[in-house]
Amino acid sequence: MISRIQKFYRYFVYRIFHVNNDGPEINVIVILGMIHGSILLAVLIILDILFDIGFPPNLDKSEWYLLALLFFVFQFLIFFRPNKWKTYFKEFENESKEERRKGSFLVWGYLIFSLSLPIIIPVIWDAFFR
């Protein structure tokens, strides 16, 4: 199971990197940051629903921007690995059209699902559990 998740991650980076040639490294970091931020936000929403942790905290706009900036800096430090990414590219460079079509569906599905989680969770909670 873990190896399938790791392979999907490698494929995800490969596909995002090759969307266009205008700053592909930035594309990967920004999209991964958006996805990880969205998942983190979803987890915080779930924790707040279950344990009333007081999320979101009462912060100024500038403090939210600072937190977002710090989050993206940590994302950059953790995930920016262009030399490692080149090994991912070699792994998937000979994919067939069928594999590419299936992979595109999975990548876009994961991207849309991940980014919509912070919206879906409160809506479902409110609709079914209140």
Both structure tokens of 102: 């299936």
Number of H helices, E strands in the chain: 5, 0
- pTM of model > 0.95: no
pLDDT band (50, 70, 90) for residue 23: confident
Q: What is the pLDDT of residue 32?
A: 93
24-40 pLDDT per residue, tens? 888 899 999 999 999 99
pLDDT tens across 73-122, in order?
999 999 999 899 989 899 998 999 999 999 999 999 999 999 999 999 98
Q: Is 23 left (phi over 0), alpha (psi -120 to 50) or beta?
A: left
- 38 Cβ contact partners less than 8 Å away, ≥ 6 residues apart: 114, 115, 116, 117, 118
Angle at 27 between CA 110 and CA 77, to 5 degrees: 95
pLDDT digits (tens, 9 = 90+) for 3-13: 999 999 999 99
